[in-house]
Structure 1
Amino acid sequence: MPEPTRQLPLFGLMAAIALFLIPEACIARKANRDCGSSMCGNVEIRNPFRLTTQPSKCGDRRYELECDGDNRTGLVMKNGRFYVRNISYETRTRIFFSDEGVESYNITYESYRMQAIDADLSKDDNCSLPRNSFRSDDLCEVPYSLGSTSSTMYLVNCTKPMKSSSYINASRCSTSSSHLNASYFYFLHGETPAGKFDESCTIDALVPIMVENISGMSTSDIYRKLLLGFEIDSDLDLRLALHDCYEKERPFQLMLQSLLYALQTYADSFVYFLFKGPHVFQNTLYAPRSTNVLCVGVTGGVILARYLLGMCCLLALVTYKWRRRHLSADDIIENFLKRQHDLMPIRYSFREITQMSSDFKEKLGEGGYGSVYKGRLRSGYLVAIKLLGKAKANGEDFISEVATIGRIHHVNVAKLIGFCVEGSKQALVYDFMPNGSLDRIIFSEESKTVLSWQKMFDISLGVARGIEYLHQGCDMQILHFDIKPHNILLDENFVPKVSDFGLAKLYSTDDSIVSLTAARGTIGYIAPELVYKNIGGVSHKADVYSFGMLLLEMVGRRKNMKSVVEESCQIHFSS
């Protein structure tokens, strides 16, 4: 057996490699989780809460808070921003009993309670509206629970005054606005069913308030309660739910923690056989000499595995960079999304889109753009998922759709809930329309739905309002260029929604004439000036012409282009 002194250089190198192999990040992550307490103004912040300025190993990122220049503690959620006035910590013990009623075990845990206020209400103008929403329906994303003394209410934006007692005026100050673009803000009880909402109103926020029900309260009473803030609680049930989320989201980290003891035992044996000293981690018996060979063999095997893994990662990185260099359309879309910081729609991964649609099980329709499938969010809300085909996945239609419909909200315009873009896989998530598109009702001879003339008039008026909003209701005029029954969707109450903005263009409201390099639209609905340049410039009247063709089709109950007619002049309505 060689002398121990001759083995030191070789074993020194092996020891350094072995220590490098131990996942220090996993060990430190658990040991340095509690970094003590810190202050932001009068608010004490300690584990599990953390500030954005603290090291990443401190606290839990789900409980991240901000400390601004005025020493105010900010709580930033997906749909809103709040200021935390106080956090109280309390140690509690819960006793669990068996089925026979005998005490089996107890758990001691730390509970906390936050007092928060809407960030918009802390302004000095006394006219601000509470536009920040508090949603805790998904504990895996929002680890907060509204206090038992608090509830939520809707802040709705209406285009006309509401005379119902259920609508409580939300405006504290009188504001001057034009008659056409007037907005009226009201508060509604948070448990108001969807069918009770007036069609002229849209939801701006789900506002927390420290009362059980706002019915019968005045505007001043509601704001007095809002300025007192609201409570956010945490109990053991919430912690257990969050632990289930952690197990689902981070199984690899939990596996590393379960291997921690085995790694410590390995390092202990290695150091012991290196220096012939006492055991570092535990008191164990003297191991046989063959363990030395085993440690060296395991270390060499791990080094080889790390080398092969590194080569595979490097190869994958080079392949990824090469593919990204040749996918210019993806870069265009990503740059566009980075510039649109104010987009309301949510960005989903393609895996989430697949889960929503149950692997694209139920198909609703198909067209030149791709296919539409029925889906369901985790909250149970039904959606329609438009999966763009490869022929349309060049980025232009996708950007046009998100850039236009992503920034507008109107009762007669389809609502874009979210989108997905992963390479050539592009999808748009809309509200689900139970009654489908208008063409299925007015063209199909097999349709069981027969609309009255009054309902047809209401649908026509709703489409006109949607088009008028696109032309004059936004800071930019939006020209649709593809108004037709196929792109008019009907909800459960047959309220029309203008959809499919793949051909839309945005222009300044000052431009009466717009420039196009080529005609766009569907044959039979295209305005003449889009085809014949010598009869006039292209303007918003192109959509008005298409809308006129749509009206004639609704009255005639047939398509504009009809192959079998009594006279040739009846082929086109315009003839």
Structure 2
Amino acid sequence: MDNLLKKHLPFVCLLVVALAHHGRGLTDCQETRCGRHGPKIRYPFRLKDRQPATCGYPGFDLTCNEMQQTVLELPNSVKLYIQKIDYTSQSIVTVDPNVCLARQARNFNLSTSPFRYQGLSTFGVGYVFFNCSAVERNLFNQVPCLSTPGFYDVYAFNSLISIDNLPLSSCTKMYTSLLIPDEVVNPPFNTLHLNWTEPGCGACEAQGQRCRSTTNSSIGYECYVPPKGNQGRRKIMIAVIVVGVFLLLVGVGVSFYMYHSNRIEMENQAKIEKFLADYKAMKPARYSYADLKRITNNFKDKLGEGAYGTVFKGRLSREIHVAVKILTSSTVAKNGDEFINEVGTMGRIHHVNVIRLVGYCADGFRRALVYEFLPNESLEKFIFSATDGGNGSHIHSLGWERLHEIALGIAKGIEYLHQGCDQRILHFDIKPHNILLDHDFNPKIADFGLAKLCAKDQSAITMTAARGTMGYIAPEVFSRNFGNVSYKSDVYSFGMLLLEMVGGRKNNEEADVNGGLRQVYFPEWVYEHLDKGEEFRIRIKEEGDAKIVRKLTIAGLWCIQWYPADRPSMTAVLQMLEGDGEGLSMPPNPFSSAGDGKMEGVAKGNRIALELEAISEE
């Protein structure tokens, strides 16, 4: 406690000095304006050249130009004139001095500004600008202020819309502007609405009061009833001192509580903020918690719930839907590593078979991830469907051709993670539940919370503990007796996924053989039947289905070899799946070397988990 008081002693002295001068500051911070008809300027805004810093909130500095217009300067030297300030709704109306917002669009970046674009449709939207000599005008937003009459016209279209089928043969791409609102490319082309969330003075204004700074740091604020005329300066001084002393006592008490109760969480928060600052140049969009409430219509449409959080459906615009995963308080309370891992890893990935991370939220203790919305949910929903009660054969609602295409897509996604990025990305949790399907049933790999990064020339990585889902974890993740942990661990998980697609059941389920007289581990049962040339009792509806089943099965068995060196790379697996399957040879039996007695004593989660030497923590 003594150390805490010593720590806050300088702060106490500064606060006393600030209170002594606060009364004089009241007159310095009176409401003003640039011109006779200009908007009224008061807290959180201030005129930078006329008023002290304590008269405003950081980031709300304004200036007056020679024409007595109120000027707001945003990051990257973007200057706008303020026409109106609504202190109750906390919004402003700005115009471009040159009547062409699109010309400044390339420099728009509000990530370090307190202001945000107003309106639901502006979150995460970007536009691509083209100059065209001839184009069907109805397909684009024409931007006349960028056009050159008689030579070319400039058009803009939403960057999330595919350009494959658009008539762009007579067009040249100019540039892409990310995260800009629709009104930039729509008439009148010079009006931009912005709003702010902090400081939250709108509540004061709604009650007929005003807002002001409480300290010399400008970050504290309070509501107050403005005095009429010159009355009560002494009363104001007394009130300020009383309130200041009270806030000081409350601040010391809160600091004491936070120091003892939330030290770990604050360290995690600082770690996340440092990471996000370092990652700023590459990061997806950052949303506040208030943004997420608007996007999800106050979390109205719940898609699902798991151990790590709840997923809600949201909408960025009329055409763009997202899935918002709100992390549970228990997950947030542990540490920030998985959150940093997910955001950091996903920001490096751009592939058609990997889910896109649209944005994230790190608003105080609230954390969330915003993904593209995939309407057909996970692969697990389709491959573990019902069986017909007649002969036990599995009913594949997607058909074997579609399953083959899905397997190819997943393999391409994993190969990209292993070979297509600057650093190799090991997923460590490949399973049907983490394979999501879009509206055309194209697969996308999701959930990178357990992923690790390593150099492409790195043959092995260090593991401090096993990670993944039982039934899909490679043997070497449990024990170094099988070799080093590497990208071959993902190959093993993919092999188990292939066998589940073939059999329509979990890999750790047992197969009923000979009328229930004996039950065996399902992947082992698959190998025995294929090795003997027997049928799987899987329904074959179309000509060629049997070849697909055999190809998927052999590829899966190659992938689940015990030792990493015996497994193919994902590039080799792709060649197996893309070929006709005629030349595929049977892999060695991965079950014979374990011994019958040992295999029968292993738990369902992983048949080799028992009798293995555990990896020691490093």
Q: Distance in 2 between matches of 1:192 and 1:402?
A: 24
- Selected match of 2:485 from 519, 538, 548: 538
Q: Please list the CA deviations of residues 461-517 of structure 1 after superposition, one character each: whole Å capped at 9, or x if unmatched.
A: 111111011001111000001111000001111111101111110001110222212
Query: Residue in 1 aligned with 2:63?
Result: 58
- Selected match of 1:399 from 334, 340, 343: 340
Q: Distance in 1 between matches of 2:287 and 2:95?
A: 34
Question: Which AA in structure 1 matches 2:337?
Answer: E
Q: Is the 8 A contact 2:100 2:189 kept in 1?
A: no
Q: Distance in 1 between matches of 2:161 and 2:187?
A: 34
- Distance change (3 Å), C-alpha of 1:315 and 1:494: same
Query: Residue in 1 aligned with 2:271?
Result: 332
Query: Residue in 1 aligned with 2:349?
Result: 408
Q: Distance in 2 between matches of 1:256 and 1:237?
A: 35
Shift of 1:265: 3.3
Structure 1 counterpart SS, 2:369: strand
- Distance change (3 Å), C-alpha of 1:254 and 1:247: farther
Correspondences of 1:115-130 after superposition (within 5 Å): none
Correspondences of 1:85-484 after superposition (within 5 Å): 112-113=97-98, 141-142=116-117, 153=128, 190-191=156-157, 196=162, 215-217=168-170, 219=172, 242=193, 251=202, 263=226, 265-267=228-230, 269=231, 300-301=238-239, 303-320=241-258, 323=261, 325-327=263-265, 328-377=267-316, 381-393=320-332, 394-422=335-363, 424-445=365-386, 450-484=397-431
Q: Distance in 1 between matches of 2:293 and 2:363?
A: 13
Query: Residue in 1 aligned with 2:29?
Result: 25
Q: Distance in 2 between matches of 1:396 and 1:445?
A: 39
Q: Please list the CA deviations of residues 253-312 of structure 1 after superposition, one character each: whole Å capped at 9, or x if unmatched.
A: 857997699846341x46xxxxxxxxxxxxxxxxxxxxxxxx765664554344434433
Q: Is the 8 A contact 1:26 1:253 kept in 2?
A: no
Q: Distance in 2 between matches of 1:248 and 1:331?
A: 22
Query: Residue in 1 aligned with 2:149?
Result: none
Question: Which AA in structure 2 matches 1:455?
Answer: R
Query: Residue in 2 aligned with 1:171?
Result: none
Q: Distance in 2 between matches of 1:135 and 1:298?
A: 41
Q: Please list the CA deviations of residues 146-174 of structure 1 after superposition, one character each: whole Å capped at 9, or x if unmatched.
A: xxxxx95369xxxxxxxxxx9xxxxxxxx
Shift of 1:531: 2.2
Q: Please list the CA deviations of residues 329-367 of structure 1 after superposition, one character each: whole Å capped at 9, or x if unmatched.
A: 333322322222323212223333344334433332233
Shift of 1:189: 7.3
Q: Is the 8 A contact 1:112 1:233 kept in 2?
A: no
**Which moves more between the two structures, 557-566 or 347-356?**
347-356
Q: Is the 8 A contact 1:412 1:497 kept in 2?
A: yes
**Which moves more between the two structures, 554-563 or 297-306?**
297-306
Q: Distance in 2 between matches of 1:442 and 1:532?
A: 30
Correspondences of 1:2-13 after superposition (within 5 Å): none
Structure 2, unpaired ranges of 5+? 1-19, 34-40, 50-58, 65-69, 84-93, 120-125, 131-138, 140-153, 178-182, 212-223, 388-393, 525-559, 561-590, 592-618
**Which moves more between the two structures, 359-368 or 506-515?**
359-368
Question: Which AA in structure 2 matches 1:265?
Answer: K
Structure 2 counterpart SS, 1:519: coil
Q: Distance in 1 between matches of 2:364 and 2:184?
A: 40
Query: Residue in 1 aligned with 2:447?
Result: 500
- Cα RMSD (Å): 4.9
Question: Which AA in structure 2 matches 1:25?
Answer: C
**Which moves more between the two structures, 552-561 or 333-342?**
333-342
State whether structure 2 residue 507 is matched by structure 1 residue 560: yes
- Distance change (3 Å), C-alpha of 1:58 and 1:442: same
Q: Please list the CA deviations of residues 51-76 of structure 1 after superposition, one character each: whole Å capped at 9, or x if unmatched.
A: xxx9934267854365xxxxxxx54x
- Distance change (3 Å), C-alpha of 1:424 and 1:300: closer
Shift of 1:381: 2.9
Question: Which AA in structure 2 matches 1:518?
Answer: A
Question: Which AA in structure 2 matches 1:425?
Answer: R
Q: Distance in 1 between matches of 2:295 and 2:102?
A: 34
- Distance change (3 Å), C-alpha of 1:379 and 1:548: same
Q: Distance in 1 between matches of 2:225 and 2:461?
A: 71
Q: Distance in 2 between matches of 1:118 and 1:409?
A: 28
Q: Distance in 1 between matches of 2:327 and 2:512?
A: 36
Q: Distance in 2 between matches of 1:565 and 1:347?
A: 51
Query: Residue in 2 aligned with 1:9?
Result: none
Q: Is the 8 A contact 2:302 2:310 kept in 1?
A: yes
Shift of 1:400: 1.4
Q: Is the 8 A contact 1:26 1:256 kept in 2?
A: no
Q: Distance in 2 between matches of 1:399 and 1:433?
A: 23
- Distance change (3 Å), C-alpha of 1:416 and 1:25: farther
**Which moves more between the two structures, 490-499 or 562-571?**
562-571
- Distance change (3 Å), C-alpha of 1:490 and 1:61: farther
Q: Percent identity?
A: 36
Give the TM-score of the pair, scaled to structure 1: 0.59
Give the TM-score of the pair, scaled to structure 2: 0.55
Query: Residue in 1 aligned with 2:594?
Result: none
Structure 1 counterpart SS, 2:381: helix
Q: Distance in 2 between matches of 1:373 and 1:141?
A: 23
Q: Distance in 2 between matches of 1:399 and 1:247?
A: 25
Question: Which AA in structure 2 matches 1:569?
Answer: V
Q: Is the 8 A contact 2:118 2:195 kept in 1?
A: no
Question: Which AA in structure 2 matches 1:456?
Answer: L
Q: Distance in 1 between matches of 2:226 and 2:240?
A: 12
- Distance change (3 Å), C-alpha of 1:520 and 1:193: closer
